[in-house]
Structure 1
Amino acid sequence: MSGPPTTTAVPTGWRARVDPRPAFVRLRDSGIPIVQIVVAATGSYAFAHYGLGHPAPLLAATVTVGSLGLVRDARPRRVLETVLGMLVGILVAELLLILTGTGWWQLALALGATLVVARLLSAQPGFAIAAAIQSLIVMVIPATAPFLRLVDGIIGGVAALLVTALIPRNPLRDALREGRALFAAVDSASGALIQALRRGDRLRAERGLEKARALQPLLDEWRASLESGLAIAKISPFLRRQRFELARQDRIREATDLATRNLRVVARRVVYLCDDGVSRPVSADVLAEISRAASFVSDSLDDLSFEPPARAALVAVAGRLDPAELLPGASLGDQNLIAAMRPLVVDLLTATGMPAADARAAVPRI
């Protein structure tokens, strides 16, 4: 199996600086969040102004914008925590406004008290900042009646939670994109290691190890999207059909997380072995078979029917992973490389849905 080149072209010049595609991708990914913010802010403002007669329900709109945001992680718990932080800031400022009135030192007192209370209530820095911003708004902008803005804040918070459930973002699309990105990176790292084994190329092996070490951020992004999607799917009636797929992807992610750790172990052994410059075609072929099977696991993210072929391919290679039989008379280092591939295959088998005990049994005892 021929892997990707060790280096890739990086676009430079004026075309790279004015390329509009990243901007359009960013806009596409923010489409639903923009709709959520517009609907929630407009709806909460209209309800407070026309329904309850509040003259200027600014906080009804700002709470929705601040709590929803354009961030990828829009799980209801995060939205609720941000809303509560804002309400804490509004409440503290309203109480101090009644007790001390307005002025520069009252503003400083309200800001300090809000930050102290918020830090006591939550370990999240964003909670305290959200509270402080709303506290400043309350202290600076006058109101016609006490606690009117607290009611506006509650209305905005309820609106934010409602649109999270009723106009949900598409978590499955984001999770699929990030899962594919991870497996593409795994394939790239494996390809570099396979070429290194075929050529006895230490530099290429080091490049493969570098790529394997760079997989963790991709895993973290995938995990965050899946956790957010599963949380939203629990409360959204429109995402019920996605719950199974999100849970299945999360199972694949957990197993792939372990597999990438074992891939790093394999990569370190390849670097060590390639120091002698000797070609190792048998080990390269075995790793190539594992890489091809991993591509079936990647395909199964979109289509469940790819899980059986992925499992069959991995079982076939797992049955051969006896270092003494595969490399009779080889050095201990070469046999240890094959041994390091065994847990990698076991983890990929569990990613296909095979029970862990059956996956371990598929590998011959040594």
Structure 2
Amino acid sequence: MPDDRTRPAQRISRESWTRLVRDGWTRLTRNCRARLRHLRGNMIIPVQAGVAAALAWLLADDVLRNPDPVFAPAIAVGTIVSALGNRLRRTLETVIGVAVGIGAGDVLIAVVGSGPWQTGMIVAIAVALALLLRGGSTLLVQAGGTAVLIATLAPANPDIVVPRFVNAVVGGLVGLAVVLVLLPLNPLRLVQRAVGPALDRLATLLDDAAAALTAGDAAQAQRALDRVRDFDERLATLQDALAAANEVVTLAPQRWSNRHVLAELTSSGEHLERATRNCRAMLRRIVSVLEDDEPVPGQLPTAVRQLGEALRTMRQELDRGREFHRTREQALGAVDQSGSAYAEGLGYSGNVVVAQVRTAGSDLLRATGIGRRAANRMVRRAAGHSRPPSPPPAPPRP
């Protein structure tokens, strides 16, 4: 008969195992839903790749009668799936890299012949020439790869030189035609998909920081700070989306009408990036406030939380194509609360938090299209005094 004393431990073990399975299933389903949303949001890319591959093969094989047309669809697909915003550059680097590899291979084979050490020399010189042109990784790869083919296959098959260069040109041009003329991305939707998650993520971190201030929990504030340090990836995604959208509206005639709106979104993205940097500095100081047991008036966590709400509202108004009236009201409300906290009395780091709330609020106003002077004037009025709080001198080190 089992000892009754083992039953609580078994029950705890079963409960822990059940919780572990449930949490794992929740994470799995959440991850799957996120991946499906990502696929739906980017479904045009596989369509572009398929169309480009088919057109490149048709043009190289049936129209130009290229004896080896495989390279053309490969380059076309490479153009489609290359980094957003760098497609034109990647295509140019591909064509130039192939030309460098062919030129170096042809000249050197005529001088040194073919063989193992000759192949190594040809590849080294081709890559050196690509570096001399200050090309990116695509140019280097194409120059080196083409030099290998020329050095190893051209002596036995001299007809490979011209078709490979033609394939590179055909594939690159077809890829660009598909993404910029036939099936261009919607630049505004592309930016909105990148901005939205970034705003929501930063708002969540500010909520956590506000909760930490309310509870006096320095460890919770530190966890929020640790997570914001990983926010650079989301900012990089936003910058890539803006670069891709600007590439589309610059080169795709169908999207020229979006230029003005995209210019506003690009300016907003710059100010959001500044607001993110200020929020990161704010979180760092919130940790110091709690670790140093500085006073925390109730208005201070309210200000931080309201700044997060302004970010969420900005996403909603951006998605719905509305004016940012509510976003501005909430940003100024956060500034007002921070001014009240300052009037209550704060320590050194608390004053810095207030200054960062004001600066981030000004950045949000700028992101909604308000000019610098007007934004600063609105912030000063909301704060209730003419100058931002200046933190007192740092206490001397013991």
TM-score calculated relative to the size of structure 1 = 0.84
Matched, 1:120 2:120: no
CA distance in 1 between partners of 2:92 and 2:55 (Å) = 18
Q: What 5-or-longer segments of structure 1 have no aligned partner?
A: 1-8
Q: 2:165 aligns with which of 122, 130, 150?
A: 150
Matched, 1:214 2:230: yes
Q: 2:332 aligns with which of 296, 302, 315?
A: 315
What does residue 4 of structure 1 align with? none
- State the 1:126 CA deviation: 3.0
Matched, 1:234 2:250: yes
Rg larger for: 2
Q: Residues 322-341 of structure 1 correspond to what in structure 2 (within 5 A)? A: 322=339, 326-341=342-357
8 Å CA contact 1:111–1:132 kept in 2: the answer is yes
- State the 1:339 CA deviation: 2.6
- State the 1:25 CA deviation: 5.2
Residue 308 of structure 1 aligns with an amino acid whose one-letter code is H
Q: What 5-or-longer segments of structure 2 have no aligned partner?
A: 1-20, 381-385, 388-398
Compare 118-127 and 199-208 and name the one that shifted more.
118-127
Matched, 1:135 2:150: no
Q: Residues 1-366 of structure 1 correspond to what in structure 2 (within 5 A)? A: 11-12=23-24, 16=28, 24=36, 27-28=39-40, 31-69=43-81, 71-97=83-109, 102-141=114-153, 142-144=157-159, 147-166=162-181, 167-275=183-291, 276=293, 280-319=297-336, 321-322=338-339, 326-364=342-380, 365-366=386-387
Structure 1 residues 27 and 196, CA, compared in 2 at 3 Å: closer, same or farther? closer
Q: Secondary structure at the match of 1:327?
A: helix
Compare 208-217 and 185-194 and name the one that shifted more.
208-217
Residue 162 of structure 1 aligns with an amino acid whose one-letter code is A
CA distance in 1 between partners of 2:196 and 2:103 (Å) = 45
CA distance in 2 between partners of 1:330 and 1:278 (Å) = 6
Compare 73-82 and 158-167 and name the one that shifted more.
73-82
Residue 147 of structure 2 aligns with an amino acid whose one-letter code is S
8 Å CA contact 1:201–1:277 kept in 2: the answer is no
Compare 305-314 and 340-349 and name the one that shifted more.
305-314
CA distance in 2 between partners of 1:133 and 1:79 (Å) = 16
CA distance in 2 between partners of 1:298 and 1:363 (Å) = 21
Residue 119 of structure 1 aligns with an amino acid whose one-letter code is L
Structure 1 residues 285 and 247, CA, compared in 2 at 3 Å: closer, same or farther? same
- State the 1:180 CA deviation: 1.2
Compare 329-338 and 299-308 and name the one that shifted more.
329-338
CA distance in 2 between partners of 1:134 and 1:154 (Å) = 14
Structure 1 residues 93 and 45, CA, compared in 2 at 3 Å: closer, same or farther? farther
- State the 1:217 CA deviation: 1.7
CA distance in 2 between partners of 1:182 and 1:14 (Å) = 22
8 Å CA contact 2:302–2:334 kept in 1: the answer is no
CA distance in 1 between partners of 2:22 and 2:304 (Å) = 28
Cα deviation digits, residues 59-114 of structure 1 (max 9, x gap): 33333233433544454233323332233223433444555554434432332221
8 Å CA contact 1:85–1:127 kept in 2: the answer is yes
Q: Secondary structure at the match of 2:370?
A: coil
Percent sequence identity is 25
Structure 1 residues 26 and 208, CA, compared in 2 at 3 Å: closer, same or farther? closer
CA distance in 2 between partners of 1:196 and 1:347 (Å) = 24
CA distance in 1 between partners of 2:54 and 2:228 (Å) = 47
Compare 129-138 and 281-290 and name the one that shifted more.
129-138
CA distance in 1 between partners of 2:324 and 2:165 (Å) = 52
- State the 1:284 CA deviation: 1.0
Residue 282 of structure 2 aligns with an amino acid whose one-letter code is V
- State the 1:233 CA deviation: 1.7
Cα deviation digits, residues 315-350 of structure 1 (max 9, x gap): 344356546x85344445434432332111111110
Structure 1 residues 202 and 14, CA, compared in 2 at 3 Å: closer, same or farther? closer
8 Å CA contact 2:68–2:163 kept in 1: the answer is no
Cα deviation digits, residues 135-179 of structure 1 (max 9, x gap): 333444424375343233222222222223122234433322221
CA distance in 2 between partners of 1:194 and 1:20 (Å) = 31
CA distance in 2 between partners of 1:250 and 1:110 (Å) = 44
Compare 259-268 and 86-95 and name the one that shifted more.
86-95
Q: Secondary structure at the match of 2:159?
A: coil
Compare 146-155 and 281-290 and name the one that shifted more.
146-155
What does residue 6 of structure 1 align with? none
8 Å CA contact 2:296–2:346 kept in 1: the answer is no
CA distance in 2 between partners of 1:322 and 1:164 (Å) = 50
Cα deviation digits, residues 187-215 of structure 1 (max 9, x gap): 11101110111111111111222233222
Structure 1 residues 58 and 113, CA, compared in 2 at 3 Å: closer, same or farther? farther
8 Å CA contact 1:346–1:360 kept in 2: the answer is yes
8 Å CA contact 1:76–1:161 kept in 2: the answer is yes
Higher relative contact order (CA 8 A, sep 6+): 1
